């Protein structure tokens, strides 16, 4: 069965009666005119559809805590939708904790991750009642126990471990390989457990956590990861008499950025995960643990589209034709950071226009600011609206104000209605944190 992460475009995308592209029943040219560009557009139906896919896919395993990795997109409105869908959240900073808290998340389903959490962040996490903290290193164990003791609290934790699995994705988004900055090495787990049991008495260990990488298309890596986690649970039981009953396998499922990407469906990945879990439980003779998942990209990416307006074009003699848009690396840094590829179309009706191969250049002062290389489009002209698909994940969340350009606004569309969920920054916003000391005036 197919799932929404395998779709290149939001599931409501179509060409409407005016000949323009529409998403969520909203004409994209009208959206661009009404709200201005660049504009992030989130399709609510696509987001809810992938949530349903995930829930159906894992329904046969009865202890699942489905958490959305907020780092992929963290806004109040999208967090509220995910909370309504019954999802918890994987958060990595006070900013993410505060956003999901304000959006009404059930904080007991929230897990705090990160390799260098500050005292302030850990304190906030305890204050708002975050359900689990995934502890990354020895310093954090000591700090967290100290804070817990000072507040007279027992804190529920997982240990983040490095399972030693390499997945085939971009080097910068691999995380589970042996020489990684995240988590305890397998050889350090016993020392950490020993400390928790004997010294850090305000920490209660529930299980183990790993994450192997992002934009993953292989399923076997999940099998290998689960085997390692379950084997460790059994070993810790034997060595310490410790009955751990939770494993968190992280996120990572890929999406379809271009036609050549073929990610597995949530159903396929769930089958591999549940079968591997059952197999390992039997092999190592442990009780079925609760399963925590923390997908980000595969939940939010497909529901997001970015609209740009086309400006100047330049035909380099004997070279490429560059078509410039009014956004680029500050609203989507992924092509320049990871050589990420995207698909796009012209959203407005084009009659009898021929196809052209062009390169979409961003507006930022950097030659690496190229959004899409060599894409075939119906002859792009000044004023046309370019619609770039699959920008829901790691676009707004990684956006910057490079060149002092305001971040775009974000709208959500559904049933022919559109609502702003993140307003556009103003010029005043850009200078609102600047201070000129008196002596410089």
Q: How far is the CB of 427 from ligand LLP (least distance, A)?
A: 28
Spell out the alpha helix ranges (H) of 151-254. 189-198, 220-240
Q: How far is the CB of 213 from ligand LLP (least distance, A)?
A: 7
Residue 418 interacts with ligand LLP (CB under 6 A)? no
Residue 214 interacts with ligand LLP (CB under 6 A)? yes
Check the CA dihedral 84-98-175-226 and report its sign: negative
CB atoms within 10 A of CB 189: 19
Q: Which of 24, 38, 252, 335 binds ligand LLP (CB under 6 A)?
A: 252
Residue 113 interacts with ligand LLP (CB under 6 A)? yes
Q: Which of 131, 163, 176, 250 binds ligand LLP (CB under 6 A)?
A: 250
Is 365 among the residues known to form the active site?
yes
* 182 versus 200: smaller Cβ distance to ligand LLP: 182
Q: How far is the CB of 135 from ligand LLP (least distance, A)?
A: 13
Residue 90 interacts with ligand LLP (CB under 6 A)? yes
Cα–Cα distance, 354 to 376 (Å, whole number):
10
Provide the 8-state DSSP code for 104. Answer: T
Q: Which residue is nearest to ligand LLP (CB)?
A: 251
| Interactions with ligand LLP, residue window 8-67 (CB under 6 A) | none
SS3 content of the chain, % helix, strand, coil (to 5): 35, 25, 40
Q: How far is the CB of 302 from ligand LLP (least distance, A)?
A: 12
| Interactions with ligand LLP, residue window 331-390 (CB under 6 A) | 334, 338
CB atoms within 10 A of CB 152: 7
Cα–Cα distance, 425 to 75 (Å, whole number):
15
Stretch that binds ligand LLP, among 227-235, 245-253, 355-363, 373-381 (CB under 6 A): 245-253
Site size for ligand LLP, by CB under 6 A? Answer: 22
* 88 versus 380: smaller Cβ distance to ligand LLP: 88
Stretch that binds ligand LLP, among 9-17, 69-77, 380-388, 399-407 (CB under 6 A): 69-77
CA-to-CA dists, residue 398 to 98, 195, 388, angstroms? 18, 37, 17
* 301 versus 418: smaller Cβ distance to ligand LLP: 301
Q: Which of 43, 121, 294, 331 binds ligand LLP (CB under 6 A)?
A: 294
Q: Which of 21, 26, 50, 69 binds ligand LLP (CB under 6 A)?
A: 69
Residue 232 interacts with ligand LLP (CB under 6 A)? no
* 335 versus 380: smaller Cβ distance to ligand LLP: 335
Q: How far is the CB of 331 from ligand LLP (least distance, A)?
A: 13
* 214 versus 390: smaller Cβ distance to ligand LLP: 214
Residue 175 interacts with ligand LLP (CB under 6 A)? yes
Q: Which of 26, 74, 167, 365 is catalytic?
A: 365
CB atoms within 10 A of CB 383: 9
* 72 versus 330: smaller Cβ distance to ligand LLP: 72
Spell out the alpha helix ranges (H) of 324-379. 334-338
Residue 207: strand pairing partners: 158, 246
Beta-strand pair 417-422/409-414: antiparallel
* 296 versus 327: smaller Cβ distance to ligand LLP: 296
CA-to-CA dists, residue 338 to 7, 150, 329, 333, 394, angstroms? 21, 43, 12, 8, 12
Residue 211 interacts with ligand LLP (CB under 6 A)? yes
* 87 versus 394: smaller Cβ distance to ligand LLP: 394
For the chain, state the CA radius of gyration. 23
DSSP labels for 388-432?
A: EES-SSSSGGG---GGGPPPPEEEEEETTEEEEEEPPPPHHHHHT
Contact 210, 183 (CB under 8 A): yes
Q: Which of 10, 296, 327, 328 binds ligand LLP (CB under 6 A)?
A: 296
Find how far residue 67's CA is from the centre of its chain.
11
In 82-187, at which residue ranges do the beta strands (DSSP E only) sit?
88-91, 110-112, 132-135, 155-162, 184-185
Provide the 8-state DSSP code for 287. Answer: P
Which residues would be at the binding site for ligand LLP (CB under 6 A)? 69, 71-72, 90, 113, 173, 175, 211, 214-215, 250-253, 294-298, 334, 338, 394
């Amino acid at each position: 069965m197919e799932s929404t992460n395998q779709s290149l475009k939001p599931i409501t995308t179509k060409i409407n009666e005016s000949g323009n592209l529409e998403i969520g029943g909203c004409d994209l040219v009208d959206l661009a005119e009404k709200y201005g560009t660049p504009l992030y557009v989130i399709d609510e139906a696509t987001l809810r559809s992938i949530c349903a896919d995930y829930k159906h896919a894992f329904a046969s395993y009865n202890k699942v805590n489905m958490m959305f990795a907020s780092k992929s997109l963290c806004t109040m409105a999208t967090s509220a939708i995910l909370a309504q869908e019954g999802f918890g959240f994987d958060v990595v900073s006070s900013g993410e904790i505060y956003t999901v808290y304000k959006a009404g998340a059930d904080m007991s389903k929230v897990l705090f991750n990160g390799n260098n959490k500050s005292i302030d962040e850990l304190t906030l996490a305890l204050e708002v009642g975050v359900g689990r903290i995934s502890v990354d290193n020895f310093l954090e164990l000591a700090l967290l126990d100290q804070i817990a003791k000072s507040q007279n609290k027992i804190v529920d934790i997982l240990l983040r471990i490095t399972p030693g699995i390499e997945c085939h994705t971009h080097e910068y988004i691999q995380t589970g390989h042996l020489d990684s900055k995240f988590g305890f090495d397998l050889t350090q787990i016993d020392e950490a457990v020993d400390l928790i049991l004997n010294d850090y008495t305000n920490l209660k260990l529930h299980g183990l956590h790993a994450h192997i990488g992002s934009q993953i298309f292989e399923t076997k890596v999940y099998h290998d990861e689960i085997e390692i986690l379950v084997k460790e649970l059994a070993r810790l039981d034997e060595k310490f008499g410790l009955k751990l009953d939770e494993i968190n396998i992280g996120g990572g499922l890929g999406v379809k950025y271009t036609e050549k990407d073929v990610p597995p469906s949530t159903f396929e990945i769930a089958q591999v995960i549940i079968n591997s879990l059952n197999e390992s439980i039997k092999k190592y003779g442990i009780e079925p643990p609760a399963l925590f998942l923390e997908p980000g990209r595969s939940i939010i990416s497909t529901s997001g589209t970015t609209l740009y307006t086309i400006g100047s074009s330049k035909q380099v003699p004997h070279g490429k034709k560059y078509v410039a848009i009014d956004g680029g690396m500050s609203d989507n840094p992924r092509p320049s950071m990871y050589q990420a590829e995207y698909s796009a179309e012209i959203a407005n009706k084009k009659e009898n226009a021929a196809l052209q191969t062009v390169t979409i250049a961003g507006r930022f002062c950097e030659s690496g600011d190229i959004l899409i290389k060599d894409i075939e489009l119906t002859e792009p002209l000044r004023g046309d609206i370019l619609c770039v698909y699959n920008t829901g994940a790691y676009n707004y969340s990684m956006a910057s104000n490079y060149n002092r350009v305001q971040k775009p606004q974000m709208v959500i569309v559904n049933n022919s209605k559109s609502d702003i969920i993140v307003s556009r920054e103003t010029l005043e916003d850009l200078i609102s944190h600047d201070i000129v000391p008196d002596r410089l005036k």
